[in-house]
Amino acid sequence: MSVSLGALRAFVLRVVRRGWRAVRHELRAVVVRPLRRLWERGLRGVSLAVFGALAVIGLHAFQQTGVGGDVVGFVGEVRGDQPLWVTLLRTPVSMFVPAVDLPVWGGLPRLLLAFALAELLFGRIRTLAVAYTVTLAGTLGARLMVALGPERFGGLPADVAHAVDTGTSAAIVGLFAYTSVALRAPLLFLAAVVPTVTGSIRDLDLAGREHLIAVAVAVAIGGVLHRRSGQVVVERPAVVGGP
């Protein structure tokens, strides 16, 4: 009996040590490293995140004016019944267009955190590329489901094509998913991605399906780009002079 208790104690200690090492690794990757980068570069390091938040606030305020709703809809509203070239042109703007029927202030902290983490760790270009790719993937996936029709598995009725796409939320959850995979950070994935995935599965409407596609594409991109070493290459400022 004493041998069994000793083996159980050793097993529990191993699990605790491994769990603590995993948590410590994730804290360094998700908290310490971005904060150090923010300290080095200041607000310049999160300029894209700040721009995104200001764009959402500005577009939301403009939407409330008489002509603003029509203008914002013309430049940033993406639907499945549009020509594909219109969708491609409007998707970059649609990433910062808030949903009219949702409170804009509730999503701002998530937007800031998602874009700031990605920008600090991967740079502005990759952050924008991932956000655009996952948003466009959700949009094109929705168009394909409408084309399949409700009589086929996974298809959607034709009237869904008139609904407006998700806007910022697909880019946000996609960036969180990409960052979680790149950093090997399951706790971040559990906290920032799983609730959206669960809600999307529960309410499998157009927005829910676009969120699921965005997460799947982000996970695939993160897995491909960071599959070898799992190390994150952080963009360093150029050094003037030197040997």
The model's pLDDT over 201-216, given as tens digits with 9 standing for 90+, comes to 887 788 888 899 999 9
Residue with the bigger pLDDT between 236 and 134: it is 134
Q: Is the model's pLDDT at 102 over the cut of 50?
A: yes
Q: Which tens digit of pLDDT belongs to each residue from 42-65?
A: 888 899 999 999 998 888 888 888
For the cut 50, the answer to whether the pLDDT of residue 240 exceeds it is: no
Q: What structural domains and CATH numbers belong to the chain?
A: 24-225 (1.20.1540.10)
Helix (H, G, I), strand (E, B) or coil at 193: coil
- Give the span between the Cα atoms of 74 and 77, in whole angstroms: 6
pLDDT band of residue 9 (cuts 50, 70, 90) is low
Helix-helix angle 124-148:104-122, to 10 degrees:
120
Greater model confidence, 120 or 145:
120
Over range 218-226, report the average pLDDT. Answer: 89
Three-class DSSP category at 171: helix
Q: Identify the bridge partners of residue 152 per DSSP, sorted by sequence position.
A: none
Q: Is the pLDDT of residue 181 over 80?
A: yes
Q: What is the pLDDT of residue 142?
A: 82
| Distance, first Cα to last Cα, the chain | 67
> Which amino acid is it at 145?
M
Q: Band of the pLDDT at 192, cuts 50, 70, 90?
A: very high
pLDDT digits (tens, 9 = 90+) for 143-170: 888 888 777 777 777 777 777 777 788 8
More confident call, 160 vs 108: 108
pTM, two decimals, is: 0.84
Exposure b/e, 182-196, CB count within 10 A at least 16 = b: bbbbeebbeebbeeb
Q: Measured between alpha carbons, how far is 95 from 73 in angstroms, rounded to an integer? A: 13
